[in-house]
Chain A
Amino acid sequence: MGYTVALDVGGTFTDVALVHEASGRLWVTKTPTTPHDVSAGFIAGIDKALRLAGVEAASLRHVLHGTTTATNAILEGKGAATGLLTTAGFRYVLEIGRHDIPRRANMFAWVKPARPVSPELIFEIGGRVTVEGEELEPLDEAGVRAAARRLREAGVNSIAVCFLHSYANPAHERRAHAVLLDEHPDCAVSLSSEVLPVFREFERSMGTVLNAYVQPLVAGYVARLVEQLRPRGITAPLSIMKSNGGVIGADVVRTQAIHTALSGPAAGVIGVRRIGEAAGFADLISVDVGGTSADVCLVRGGEAEVTVEGRVGAWPLHVPMIDIHTIGAGGGSIARVTDDGTLTVGPESAGAQPGPVCYGAGGEEPTVTDAHLVLGRIPSHLLGGEIPLDVERARRAIEERVAQPLGLPLAAAAHGILDIVNNNMVGALRLVSVERGYDPRDFVLVPFGGAGPLHGADLAALLAMRTVVVPRHPGVLSTFGLLGTEVRNDYARTSLQKPPDYDLGAVGAVYADLEGQARAWLAAEGVEPAGHRLTRLADLRYRHQGFELTVPWPEADLSVDALVARFHERHRQLYTYALADAPVEIVTLRVAAAGRVRRFTLPSLDRRGAAAAQHPRRRVYFAGVGWKACPCIDRERLGVGAVVTGPAIVEQPDTTTVVPPGHRATVDRVGNLVIRAGARRPRGPRYQ
């Protein structure tokens, strides 16, 4: 029996987890991320984990990886030079977009973000297909050839193809693909009918273009990883986490690069799912708080919600992704008082450089981390003493830049910074719960990332959530997600069905086709047929509506009644009402394919009980209580069943957990810290 290694590359550290597949024995470590060439840190991480476990490279059976290569390329505008072939008459599909100024923007001040492909690299190709998929005009192959030559001469090697109505008939796009390769053999081609076969040409073009835009980088990066694994004797297959929470093989990434846009965050959510499983909770809300941002996601019945209307940076990205809501709120978020006396926190961040004031690396504007430090909530050094923090400097920054301008005492000002950042996060938590028709009080909050456990109990109190589960290793949760993941792919096709004459024969045929693709893919990923899990879904809407809701359609006989009832119910849950007498249309059919290739069980904690009662104490400020001497407990000394009564601070190298007054924390079987409010039920708003 062999080993599996999982790596998650973050901005500062690369987290590594190695597990012995038979026994479940786990080794966790981290190495510095190497931004100039991430693969160096990646390889160093594997070496370190192997050394730690005393394991030979040859005994690795799987290498799993979550990457931010695609996201960073999009956010930083550093993707490959990309060309686009579009239907004649639509060269400006990207420039025009949806022709709006964003609702919250000032019409006099807003500037349109630069498109990933500029018009001179967009080529109009003759040929037209109708909405029903019938050919109206044949494809202008000479035009494709000419475009290919121009792009080849311009050194553009990644080409997106998006023709009108190709979701209904991909023949023109496929033919264009062949012609492009014929004329420009080195180019990589992304077809909209493969990347995102769903109607609305701007969003589909953008999804396809983004795939082409990140494809060379992602493919090159993955190839480099594979290249460096081989000489070390690691022949295990490399798998990459996708935005939908599944993994795909390194070779498939080449054609599905954009599906890794949320690779890292998705791994975190899957990790949360595993923590929930082990702790006995299936309904969870995760909040991953890092240096610059917080990622929030809702998991219900053990499954993460998936969206097909996501965004990355300024762009719509309508491929299936775990519904992770990101806001600019983290430890590095900067607190500022504006001219008109408003205290704002974030979204601007001090990042890793210069970082918070207390790092002493040149940061002058106070951050959330500085506020925690001044209030005694974090120790005066990080990572077990490796990084000392300058409390005095942080205090001065908050005093001068926040407390004095607002006329507040220092502690109140520092706490105000935390209140505001907490409320920003509550906004995100409400968005994934209340605004999706779920009551957060029915969920358990799982805070993770370096700063999550500092905020967890306060966030839960603000939403009247009763339970907070702080994972044993909150800093490396993403690697657990990678270890516990499945292979997963989604298949979709728009097939408009109007009542009362739903063509169920056609529906069945589309499903059969999608399922055929899904099974072939699962087999190629090495999943035995018995392990294939296919789920049929459908996007429905009331006639005349412009947005659809995705609901499952498990009935083998394609019972429309059950499907429509499910739609009415979901509509009511989300939007407060259903229209029982309105006709319902079926718009897009989907098949979600999953297969488990390995099993990973969280190891139990082998310590029992609490450590000796003597803990160092530190003065910590709590709202409504004031300064209070609190025990600072080393998490490594807490065994299964240990109880921590708040106020208390629980410290570990990768994070700090605050147990506020009136709260109790207990350690569960796998080492999670489960925090609950004390005898008094937390009071809070009602959610309907």
Chain B
Amino acid sequence: MSRARPARRRRVPALDPVTREIIRGALRAAQAHMEAVIERTAMSPFIREKNDYFAGILDARGRVVCGTMVPLFGNLMQIIFEQYAPDTMRPGDLYWYNDCYGSRGGVSHSPDMVFAAPVFHRGRLVAFSQTWGHFWDIGGMRAGSISPDATEIFHEGIIVPAVRIYREGVLNDEAFRIFLRNSRFPEILKGDIRAVLAGCQLGERRLLELFDRFGADTVLAAWALFEQQCRDTIRKTLESRIPDGSYESEDAVDGDGMSDRSFRVRMRLTKEGGRITLDTRASDDQARGPINFIMHPSVPKLIVGIYLLSGHPTILLNDGAQDAIDEVLVRPGSILQPHWPASLGNRAHTLARVQSNVLALLALATGGDVPAPNSVYNIYFLRGFDRARNEFFLCSDGVAVGYGARPFADGLDAIYYVAQKNYPAEFMEMVFPLRLRRYALHQDSGGPGRFRGGAGVIREIELTAEEAIVALRQDNILFPPAGVNGGHAGRPGSCVVNPGRPDERRLAPMSDGNGLRKGDVLRLSTSGGGGWGHPFDRPLERVRRDVVGGFVSVGAAREDYGVVVDESGTIDAAATEALRARPRGPVRMFHRNSYFGPPVAPLQ
């Protein structure tokens, strides 16, 4: 070793607001670059067309510095640290897992795989570049790995504990081959993993450039500040908007596909002396079917965080949001904290009710100043063997719903989720043995309101292969998204085979093993979002536009909105005035079938 030059005193550059902003921009750019590479190169329709992946930047302790605006993640690094101490990590390593129970809800169903690359700057571990993708098929009881029939985590594919899949740039080929051998579609799986890895490694490179430019001390000081800003903004907003008190809410998942019952999620939010507690322990016991959700305490905190940050676009959503709520109480054995080895594949159904509960609590605390809830997205799986092409096929098609109306705008029509895209008809017909016959907005599904809930969709396919098996996951039919502040609930969806034919039949919303033959038609209609504000307060022109655009029928305009209008958009002013002058009866904060909750004062 050569002797080092006499140490100069290291100057820590001041963390001025300019440097801070430049570092923030660089983080977002690095993240965007990681995402672009994943999206452009992945192979499964899930990642490449639907974009079911996320990229994030974490600090050396695994805290999120720059994440994604979805309330979906727990602590992503803890499970890795439990297996591999940070001081054993080296440049070129890459860590990997999908172990839901092992990560205590870090990821919440097995197809979601986490990859993380440590970033070393001058020998010091300074960060992790992390990517996350939903993989097409990782084994399990059915192609696609998720089935409403699953009752154990083992039915839902191979479980990867935290492993080091690369050591100093060298692939652990043995482990990798074991994993690939467990998939029905190894070529696609391999391509997806290559894409997600490339994203991770690019993130590492971009982060190193950032550290080279500003020095580790400056960058890390900026990160600490971003977290502080996120924390302060959320706490300050909470303080000013949520009065002290105790608020209670309840919502339910329709069913688990196994038992003839629904599953309630119950919450109580208590704010007292600057301390906020969320108690979910009164929620129902875990289910036999795959709707169990290992709710990491981060999840309700992130929902609150995203809601409160909606007016602060410069703030990065990060681990600062962990302080949104001081304590989240869960009960082991409940649907929000199931005992191993309960199945988890359709946990999104329960996550949707966690979100609707948190929004309801905020509605109670703020006098309705929140978005109305939305239904969980729908997915159908079409599986079979295509004799024309001589290969197995698997079509897993995510279908949009309507989002809840907001205090300032209508709900979003036809939305699946943040950042996730649909399969174009021309793509579907190029790749799968089916024909997309219809892809339309689901008329009258949006909850009526001064602001209308977003409309769900209708997606209708015809099978062109000889036969196939359909699995369906749909919810919010018994319990559609509630209306808020005088708005009405969204209207539910359905799934029908051969509508209008003698052999017409309805599919159970959580079911597998439904057979289809060539020429059969499957029509999936999805739920609309909840409305906001009383529908009689909706301006006539907006109702008129909804009718001519087909979002609302002539009948619903009269029944729900008190507007008499024909299909061409001509309004009968006198008749409308008479209808709207009818007494409204007591209007309450929430609506589903009828109003419930505290009363709402009429619009001034």
> Residues on A close to B: CB < 8 A?
88-93, 95-112, 118-120, 128, 130-131, 164-165, 199-202, 337-344, 406, 408, 412, 415-416, 419-420, 423-424, 427, 430-431, 435, 496, 542-547, 571, 574-577, 579, 582, 684-688
- Partner-A contacts on B (CB < 8 A): 16-18, 20-22, 24-26, 28-29, 33, 35-37, 39-45, 48-49, 51, 68-70, 187-188, 191, 194-195, 198, 201-202, 205, 209, 212-213, 229, 232-233, 306-307, 309-315, 370-371, 400, 403, 406, 409, 412-422, 424-427, 429-430, 435-441, 457, 460, 545, 548-551, 569
B424 touching A109, Cβ below 8 Å? no
| Contact assessment for B371 and A108 in the assembled complex, using a CB-CB cutoff below 8 Å | yes
Contact A108–B414 (Cβ < 8 Å): no
Contact of B17 among A199, A341, A576 (CB under 8 A): A341
- Closest-by-CB residue of B relative to A548 is B40
* Chain B, residue nearest A546 (CB): B48
CB within 8 A of A547: which of B33, B48, B188, B416? B48
| A574 to B457 CA separation, bound complex (whole angstroms) | 37
Complex Cα distance A685/B419, Å? Answer: 31
In the complex, what's the smallest C-beta–C-beta distance from A619 to chain B, in angstroms? Answer: 22
Nearest CB on A from B412, distance (A): 6
The answer to whether residues A99 and B421 also contact, given A420-B22, A546-B42 and a CB cut-off of 8 A, is yes
Please name all residues of chain B whose beta carbon is closer than 8 Å to the beta carbon of A102 when the two chains form the complex.
418-419
Complex CA distance for A424 and B21, rounded to whole angstroms: 10
B548 and A120 contacting across the interface, CB-CB below 8 Å: yes
| Complex alpha-carbon distance, A163 and B295, angstroms | 45
**8 Å CB contact of B16 from A412, A427, A543:** A412
Least distance between A547 CB and chain B CB atoms (Å): 5
Q: Is the CB of A685 within 8 A of B212?
A: yes
Please name the residue on chain B nearest to A90 by beta carbon: B439
Q: Kindly identify which residue among B18, B44, B406, B425 contacts A164, using a CB–CB cutoff of 8 Å.
A: B425
Given the contacts A106-B69, A202-B424, A100 and B418 also touching, CB distance less than 8 Å: yes
Contact A106 B209 (CB under 8 A): no
Q: Take A100-B51, A108-B406, A165-B429 as given contacts and tell me if A430 and B371 are in contact as well, using a CB distance cutoff of 8 Å.
A: no
- Taking the closest CB of chain B, its distance from the CB of A611, in whole angstroms, is 37
A112-B371 Cα distance, complex, nearest whole Å:
15
In the bound complex, residues from chain B placing their C-beta under 8 Å from that of A110 are: 412
> Given the complex, which residues of B lie within 8 Å of A424, measured CB to CB?
25
Shortest beta-carbon distance from A267 to chain B in Å: 28
Contact A685 B306 (CB under 8 A): no
Give the Cβ gap from A16 to chain B, nearest Cβ, in Å.
38
Q: Please indicate which of the listed interface residues A102, A111, A131, A412 has the most CB atoms of chain B within 10 Å of its own CB.
A: A131
Query: Which B residue's beta carbon lies closest to that of A418?
Result: B18
> Please, how many angstroms separate the alpha-carbon atoms of A493 and B313 in the complex?
41
CB-contact partner of B414 in A95, A111, A687, under 8 A? A95
Nearest-CB residue, chain B, relative to A102: B419
B402 to chain A, nearest CB (A): 11
Selected contact of B422 from candidates A98, A420, A427, A575, CB within 8 Å: A98
**Complex alpha-carbon distance, A543 and B191, angstroms:** 9
With A92-B439, A100-B421, A547-B39 already in contact, the answer to whether A107 and B306 are too (CB < 8 A) is yes
B40 touches A575 (CB 8 A): yes
Q: Find out whether the CB atom of B430 lies under 8 angstroms from the CB atom of A542.
A: no
CB-CB < 8 A to A544: which residues of B?
43-44, 48, 187-188, 191
Nearest-Cβ distance from residue A409 to partner chain B, whole angstroms: 11
The residue among A104, A344, A406 with the most chain B CB atoms within 10 A of its own CB is: A104
In the complex, the answer to whether A343 meets B549 with C-beta atoms within 8 Å is: no
The 5 A-B residue pairs whose C-beta atoms are closest, nearest first, are: A546-B48, A544-B43, A89-B438, A416-B18, A103-B419
A575 to B37, Cβ gap below 8 A? yes
Select which of A97, A118, A343, A546 is within 8 A of B18 by beta carbon: A343
Contact between chains at B441 and A99 (CB < 8 Å) = no
Q: Write out the residue numbers on chain B whose beta carbons fall within 8 Å of the beta carbon of A92.
A: 414, 439-441, 457, 550
- 27 CB-based A-B contacts, threshold 8 Å: A90-B438, A96-B422, A98-B422, A100-B51, A101-B412, A103-B418, A107-B70, A108-B406, A128-B435, A165-B426, A200-B427, A337-B17, A338-B312, A340-B229, A340-B312, A342-B314, A343-B18, A416-B18, A419-B18, A420-B21, A423-B26, A431-B29, A545-B40, A546-B45, A575-B195, A577-B194, A686-B212
Q: Are A199 and B427 interface neighbours, CB within 8 A?
A: yes
Smallest beta-carbon distance A242→chain B, Å: 26
